[in-house]
Structure 1
Amino acid sequence: MSRHFLAASSAELSGGDYGIVAVIAVVALAALVIGYVLLKEVLAAGQGTSKMQEIAKAVQEGATAYLNRQRKTLVIFGAIVFVLLFALPAEDWNEKIGRSLFFLVGAVFSFAIGYVGMWLATRANLRVAAAAREDSGAREKAMRIAFRTGGAVGMFTVGLGLFGAAVVVLVYAGQAPKVLEGFGFGAALIAMFMRVGGGIFTKAADVGADLVGKVEQNIPEDDPRNAATIADNVGDNVGDCAGMAADLFESYAVTLVAALILGSAAFGASGHGLVFPLIIPAIGVITAVIGVYITKARPGESGLTTINRSFYISAVISAVLSAIAAFVFLPDSFDGNEGNPAVVATVSVIIGIALAAVILKLTGYYTGTEHKPVKDVGKTSETGAATVILSGISVGFESAVYTALVIGSAVFGAYLLGGGVALFAVALAGTGLLTTVGVIVAMDTFGPVSDNAQGIAEMSGDLKEGEGVQILTELDAVGNTTKAITKGIAISTAVLAATALFGSYSDAIKDALATAGSSLGDAPDSFLNAIISPNTLVGVMVGASVVFMFSGLAVNAVSRAAGAVVYEVRRQFRDIPGIMEGTTRPEYGRVVDIVTRDSLRELATPGLLAVFAPIAVGFGLGTGALAGYLAGAIATGTLMAVFLANSGGAWDNAKKLVEDGHHGGKGSEAHSATVIGDTVGDPFKDTAGPAINPLIKVMNLVSLLIAPAIVQFTVGPDASLAVRLIVALVSVAIIVTAIVISKRRGTAIADTPIEAATKA
């Protein structure tokens, strides 16, 4: 039986190209060094009182224990995928080995970024809380520590992403794009697991803590009498810090994969298509350093204004340097296509940077406490929880439409600009957006670090009412908005990367068909015209359905785990004397253990859904249906992710508005209503919504990897309907089994009404 492989990239690197890529690798290493310098600066700050340190240590231990247990689960899954990659077609064994090997490298890098993000954040939160206690310059110092914590993680993110891609190009040259498919797949798969697992952990603890503490017992958010407070603070770090860092790292890797694949096609034998997509992120390293170091709070200026100014300055610098690089490095023409490469590249990169800036502004409008949407949600709290939920859903729906239109406009603008290399232009827009990733990670990490700092101060009781409390309250509110903004930008990177990968999928089908073309007659035309087939529409509907199923599974997992937390916290208030009086310490570790076990048990189902759904569609319905599947998943995923993130962000900040004294303030009925809204929004914005980003990229990469195999068993001498049906049916069986098991699963807590009901 003969085999058909993807045609190899014809791109070759010259001696000068190798030199440039080597310099880029050095720049990547320099980013890691700068990240280490920022890390040491954060750790050098004061650690506050012994009570603060005790609480912080409990958070550190819980977060480390969770990620260590999660790593064991991911190692098993990663080992299976590593082996399966060898079964997929490739040009030669060199490519097969490289693809599988760098799958592991991408996975390890993704987990390492998440782990470092968690490790540093759990130490920085203590230092931010301690800084707020200082007599002079407390606000500026607290903000600097929080932002530079994120800056350190951001530098590690761009450093590892750029270094991994540069090494692959140096070692594999023309085969680099195919090897990088494995690198991107490993990064995306692990990021999705960390997003889902961390999201379930953090929101189960948060929802459980709020429902019992705030609503039932009428005690503050981070009151040490609440047994779920430590788990809540742990969750902020394993969900927001570890999850987002891994998410943006895989966006970095996947966008580079698409840009290098399409760049190789755009420039043919020239190495420009392999080198230029690396130059742009290297420029991003420089601008990230500038963005982090110029972020300094000014007296009387809001923290959000300070952070946004740094973002815009770094974005403008990125645009200027990228334009210079394009006109200096790129040739006068593409390989067989019209257009000036320097002009196309410059405008495409600027489109990506401008997209990030617009998303920042748009998301800030819909989730910021100073703007009308959140104020309107806060106003509805006067009429109860139902109207809070309805108004928040309305904000989410509306913002999703405008955000999708903005992203779509950016994609279409780059597509029109590119002409014959339209998809390469879209990929370059993605690399342009990547130049802001270092600052984006800093903005995102700022949120949970500030949130945890406030929690540590509240639980320790060592920060009395006054300026220190106001500082941490302000930083927490700013952090809520920056987290929402970075989620909007993250979904933008996902859409650009997925769109470019969508084009790479088309090229993969063409290459596979061309390889077997001598025996196919006019089959390539029939394959490429499959867009008009009803199968394609079915694929679109299935792709959209998978996004809904994935989101439903994530929210349901949070609901089950949060229910267990509610029963456990209630039990401790009821059965352990002295908790409410503050004379007895709650059993924090039991809640941490509950959400750890529940979140880790939920990892397999979304992973299996993301991997096997495109396999089932591709082998069962064909390449045209799989193209439709990807289109449906990208479109629906964009709308769903933005809706979930922005509605959740609006609910969260509406609660902050009430807690600041509006509409009755803390303890009022309006406050209880916004707490309910916030608990609904928690799994929206921090579990299901963010996990959609890596989901759509995982599905695109799986489709790209299996495309040659689908063609192989569809046409030519190896064609076999039986093989295709067997693969499709087995994939469907795996998905159905995983979902059924997930739906029937109880919770990690024993002997509670919720588990009894689930088993019944």
Structure 2
Amino acid sequence: MALSHPLSHHVSAPSSGRSVRTLADTAFSGGDRTLVAVVGLVALVALGFGYVLMKEVLSADEGTPKMKEIAEAVQEGAQAYLARQFRTLSVVVAVVFVLLFFLPADDTGQRIARSAFFIVGAVFSATIGYLGMWLATRANLRVAAAANNEGRERAMRIAFRTGGTVGMATVGLGLLGASIVVFVFTDHAPKVLEGFGFGAATLAMFMRVGGGIFTKAADVGADLVGKVEAGIPEDDPRNAATIADNVGDNVGDCAGMAADLFESYAVTLVASLILGSVAFGTKGLLFPLIVPAIGVLTAIIGVYITRAKPGENGLAAINRSFYISAAISVVLCGIAAFVYLPGKFTDLKGLASSSDGGVGAALFGLDSGIGKGNPALIAFVAVVIGIVLAAVILWLTGIYTGTEHKAVQDVGRTSLTGAATVILSGISVGFESAVYTALVIAAAVFGAFLLGGASTFVALFAVALAGCGLLTTVGVIVAMDTFGPVSDNAQGIAEMSGDVHGEGAQILTELDAVGNTTKAITKGIAIATAVLAATALFGSYTDAISKALVDAATKAGGTLADPGQFVTNSLKVGIVSPNTLVGVIIGAAVVFMFSGLAVNAVSRAAGAVVYEVRNQFRTHPGIMDGTERPEYGRVVDICTRDSLRELVTPGLLAVMAPIAVGFGLGLGPLAGYLGGAIATGTLMAVFLANSGGAWDNAKKLVEDGNHGGKGSPAHEATIIGDTVGDPFKDTAGPAINPLIKVMNLVSVLIAPAVVQLSVGKDANGAVRVTIALVAVAVVVAAVIIAKRRASSLNDDPAAAPTSAAIGS
């Protein structure tokens, strides 16, 4: 029985004595299970080491009673926000849990497991985010106290080991979740891992967007009223938005970024395990677990050896530890590749070893000689490409965002001619850095892809392994990222308490500047992982289509003689098809819309903060002379309410847009959609992150005494640039990373359903169109509501600034 499809000539009667086989032979031996158990044990070691680091951080001196009081206010605000956010997101998780059950899978048990591990991935992501927030809000005052009483090395050690704790939890939980799935479900693990990765990515995206809106609404509002209008310092306790600003650093940078990097870790593992099981069979399913297990060991070394030498810049010490741990990873991964993997493809049990003219040969084009390659060498070089990519991005991002480099110094110099030139120069830095970073990432992807030769899936597996190589450094990367907000909060607590002076204050200023650069670096590395994971997920997408076609043929009473050629021909036709170009354009447009929604959300919420702080200055004149205490809780509440309200629309856009394209336009346009989103998202994310980082550190340069110093017109110009950059670098830019991966995972999950409704006896065009229209309607309604939504406070003319109200 033929399938009802334009290319139905690919379907024929069942071949004699041969059934349609699965895409990989992944039968587990006792030794394989032992290996997975060892990987799980390494994950537990990571969690144990993280606990040791946490105990060390918490044992440090907490400083003065005033510092404790401020830190407790930040802790309460951060915990209250995350509690409300998790209650909101629990509804989303419950809905998706049910919907996942109805998507195609091999059997009911697989559906249940996929949905269950969606919950696990979401819970792990939330756990990482909460831990990052919880520990950071307790480490900040300890860093401030150490800077004041014990010196720079001790303060830096506490800040970095706070990040190290979160880094160990990230790699530990990511590796533990993946190893449990592989150990329990063996050859069915890839399908279950789709749920695990999707859960991690979905929650991370919402946490990144919500936390980013919160932190930058408070930051922008505090800067505009406090520093620009009232002329008071950044963390002056008279500013009602200061507590909210410090809370935001923790819920945005610590909780949001920790969850983001965890989902990068999880999704890259998912793509690697799916493609590895297809390309290399059992060994391909297990090797991607070995590589990040090595990363756990090197991360422990990297965190442990990080300490600044006397007179050494803190960033140099952090970079040195990163490079040392990366070099160790190269050596250990090389040993693992050549010991565990065979030297020729014929010794593998995946489709890369097929040469019988069946599904594997058709799908991979193995007639062109890929079997003569060396799997061990391919895997090793791919991992090295990923590690080198992380190192190059670290160096390249530092050039464009570090205070010691020309780019930031030029932005700082433009402050002499006003805010407009500061903004223009920062935009220029972002555009230029995006080009070079994108080219570096593209070179890494293409280099890894070339390793596969004629085999598309081996090539995509190599790309995924490059992502795994990059992930060997993720423990140190998370430590670098958390170091930034902890240092920023430490400086804020020191300034608000007034208990840190002289050398201690200078140490915290230096650590804050280093933290700005490390945050920018980790954002660059995070977008690189997103691109590698998304590219690898293209292979998972094709794999899902191929399996669905075989299933459709079987249900129709026939067999798809050549599914690989079917997919190849469809993609070749799709590349030159106008509807695929439409998919590319829509994918690019979604990135722009998502970014616009995020920035606009910050603008609205920051406006509410500005009105509230102005109102407090006007109605409580004693605030400025220190006789009245600002109502910090009102600003925290505004940021909490607005951020949770604003995160819904971007989230719906990320999930519904690929559903609309896939069911409405088809599989080829959906592939184009993903390509457009990945390309545009890469450039946009780097542009936003590096522009914001350059503006932030240009402000630090001026505050250090350059170009007139604090209170000068140049300082005011850089403050305006920094407020523009805040939602760029900490809201829209970082949120693009999980956006790309969420859209790819949604596409992988819905691809079988699209095939099912498009070909075979279950084809139903009316249902496809209905699903697409519903998805479009949801997106349109959400965007319209977001555009019409007023700020939480009305535009009250009485809230306009007056000199009497702000004491200037």
Normalised-by-shorter TM-score class: over 0.9
Deviations 1:182-217 (A, max 9, x none): 000000000000000000000000000000111011
For 2:105, give the aligned amino acid. Answer: A
Provide the C-alpha distance between the structure 2 equivalents of 1:744 and 1:131, rounded to a whole number of angstroms.
Answer: 48
- Per mean C-alpha deviation after superposition, the further-off stretch among 742-751 and 50-59 is 742-751
CA contact (8 A) 1:284 1:438 kept: yes
Residue of structure 2 equivalent to 1:317: 328
Match of 2:570 among 506, 520, 527: 527
Deviations 1:394-419 (A, max 9, x none): 00000000000000000000000122
1:353 maps to 2:390: no
CA contact (8 A) 1:6 1:708 kept: no
Instruction: Report the alpha carbon displacement of residue 511 of structure 1 after superposing the two structures with TM.
Output: 2.0
Match of 2:141 among 102, 105, 126: 126
Provide the C-alpha distance between the structure 2 equivalents of 1:187 and 1:531, rounded to a whole number of angstroms.
Answer: 32
Residue of structure 1 equivalent to 2:721: 677
Provide the C-alpha distance between the structure 2 equivalents of 1:193 and 1:359, rounded to a whole number of angstroms.
Answer: 26
For 2:136, give the aligned amino acid. Answer: A
Report SS of the residue matched to 1:113: helix
1:297 maps to 2:308: yes
Deviations 1:71-105 (A, max 9, x none): 00110000000000011000011210110000000
Provide the C-alpha distance between the structure 2 equivalents of 1:519 and 1:648, rounded to a whole number of angstroms.
Answer: 55
Match of 2:512 among 470, 476, 483: 476
Report SS of the residue matched to 1:133: helix
Residue of structure 2 equivalent to 1:634: 678
1:686 maps to 2:697: no
Instruction: Report the alpha carbon displacement of residue 563 of structure 1 after superposing the two structures with TM.
Output: 0.4
Residue of structure 2 equivalent to 1:75: 90
Residue of structure 2 equivalent to 1:234: 247
- Per mean C-alpha deviation after superposition, the further-off stretch among 603-612 and 692-701 is 603-612
Report SS of the residue matched to 1:516: helix
Deviations 1:270-295 (A, max 9, x none): x1011100000000000000000000
CA contact (8 A) 2:615 2:799 kept: no
Residue of structure 1 equivalent to 2:403: 369
Match of 1:607 among 651, 654, 659: 651
Change (3 A) 1:118 1:754: farther
Residue of structure 2 equivalent to 1:445: 482
Report SS of the residue matched to 1:89: coil
Provide the C-alpha distance between the structure 2 equivalents of 1:686 and 1:262, rounded to a whole number of angstroms.
Answer: 33
Matches within 5 A, 1:323-402: 323-334=334-345, 335-336=352-353, 337-338=370-371, 339-402=373-436
Matches within 5 A, 1:348-747: 348-419=382-453, 420=455, 421-464=458-501, 466-517=502-553, 518=558, 527-529=570-572, 530-747=574-791
CA contact (8 A) 1:210 1:221 kept: yes
Change (3 A) 1:753 1:513: farther
CA contact (8 A) 2:275 2:460 kept: yes
CA contact (8 A) 1:749 1:755 kept: no
Change (3 A) 1:752 1:65: farther
Provide the C-alpha distance between the structure 1 equivalents of 2:522 and 2:795, rounded to a whole number of angstroms.
Answer: 40
Matches within 5 A, 1:98-177: 98-134=113-149, 137-177=150-190
Residue of structure 1 equivalent to 2:78: 63
Instruction: Report the alpha carbon displacement of residue 163 of structure 1 after superposing the two structures with TM.
Output: 0.1
For 2:500, give the aligned amino acid. Answer: L
- Per mean C-alpha deviation after superposition, the further-off stretch among 503-512 and 394-403 is 503-512
TM, length-normalised to structure 2: 0.91
Instruction: Report the alpha carbon displacement of residue 463 of structure 1 after superposing the two structures with TM.
Output: 0.9
Provide the C-alpha distance between the structure 2 equivalents of 1:204 and 1:526, rounded to a whole number of angstroms.
Answer: 49
Change (3 A) 1:9 1:752: farther
CA contact (8 A) 1:561 1:747 kept: yes
Unaligned runs of 5+ in 1: none
Q: CA RMSD in A?
A: 1.7
Instruction: Report the alpha carbon displacement of residue 727 of structure 1 after superposing the two structures with TM.
Output: 0.6
Provide the C-alpha distance between the structure 2 equivalents of 1:724 and 1:526, rounded to a whole number of angstroms.
Answer: 23
Instruction: Report the alpha carbon displacement of residue 515 of structure 1 after superposing the two structures with TM.
Output: 2.7
Q: For this pair of structures, how many residues does the alignment match?
A: 750
For 2:470, give the aligned amino acid. Answer: L
CA contact (8 A) 1:348 1:426 kept: yes
Change (3 A) 1:574 1:176: same
Instruction: Report the alpha carbon displacement of residue 8 of structure 1 after superposing the two structures with TM.
Output: 6.5
Residue of structure 2 equivalent to 1:748: 792
Report SS of the residue matched to 1:578: helix
- Per mean C-alpha deviation after superposition, the further-off stretch among 337-346 and 670-679 is 337-346
CA contact (8 A) 1:365 1:373 kept: yes
- Per mean C-alpha deviation after superposition, the further-off stretch among 519-528 and 707-716 is 519-528
Provide the C-alpha distance between the structure 2 equivalents of 1:20 and 1:520, rounded to a whole number of angstroms.
Answer: 36
Matches within 5 A, 1:250-329: 250-268=263-281, 271-329=282-340
- Per mean C-alpha deviation after superposition, the further-off stretch among 487-496 and 526-535 is 526-535
Instruction: Report the alpha carbon displacement of residue 750 of structure 1 after superposing the two structures with TM.
Output: 5.6
Provide the C-alpha distance between the structure 2 equivalents of 1:20 and 1:711, rounded to a whole number of angstroms.
Answer: 36
Provide the C-alpha distance between the structure 1 equivalents of 2:23 and 2:637, rounded to a whole number of angstroms.
Answer: 49
1:192 maps to 2:205: yes
- Structure number with greater Rg is 2
1:202 maps to 2:215: yes
Provide the C-alpha distance between the structure 2 equivalents of 1:132 and 1:746, rounded to a whole number of angstroms.
Answer: 43
CA contact (8 A) 2:423 2:721 kept: yes
CA contact (8 A) 1:513 1:524 kept: no
CA contact (8 A) 1:6 1:515 kept: no
CA contact (8 A) 1:514 1:524 kept: no
Report SS of the residue matched to 1:277: helix
Change (3 A) 1:65 1:648: same
Provide the C-alpha distance between the structure 2 equivalents of 1:525 and 1:690, rounded to a whole number of angstroms.
Answer: 34
Deviations 1:122-153 (A, max 9, x none): 0000100011111xx41110000000000000
Report SS of the residue matched to 2:342: coil
CA contact (8 A) 1:713 1:724 kept: yes
Change (3 A) 1:525 1:149: closer
Instruction: Report the alpha carbon displacement of residue 348 of structure 1 after superposing the two structures with TM.
Output: 0.4
TM, length-normalised to structure 1: 0.97
Instruction: Report the alpha carbon displacement of residue 508 of structure 1 after superposing the two structures with TM.
Output: 1.4
Q: Percent identical across equivalent pairs?
A: 77
Provide the C-alpha distance between the structure 2 equivalents of 1:119 and 1:414, rounded to a whole number of angstroms.
Answer: 39
Instruction: Report the alpha carbon displacement of residue 510 of structure 1 after superposing the two structures with TM.
Output: 1.9
Match of 2:256 among 238, 243, 249: 243
Deviations 1:413-470 (A, max 9, x none): 0000122210000000000000000000000000000000000000000112x10011
Change (3 A) 1:8 1:602: farther
Provide the C-alpha distance between the structure 2 equivalents of 1:158 and 1:362, rounded to a whole number of angstroms.
Answer: 25
Unaligned runs of 5+ in 2: 5-19, 346-351, 354-369, 801-808
Change (3 A) 1:754 1:309: farther
Instruction: Report the alpha carbon displacement of residue 751 of structure 1 after superposing the two structures with TM.
Output: 7.1
Instruction: Report the alpha carbon displacement of residue 521 of structure 1 after superposing the two structures with TM.
Output: 8.6
Instruction: Report the alpha carbon displacement of residue 392 of structure 1 after superposing the two structures with TM.
Output: 0.2
Change (3 A) 1:410 1:526: closer
CA contact (8 A) 1:520 1:715 kept: no
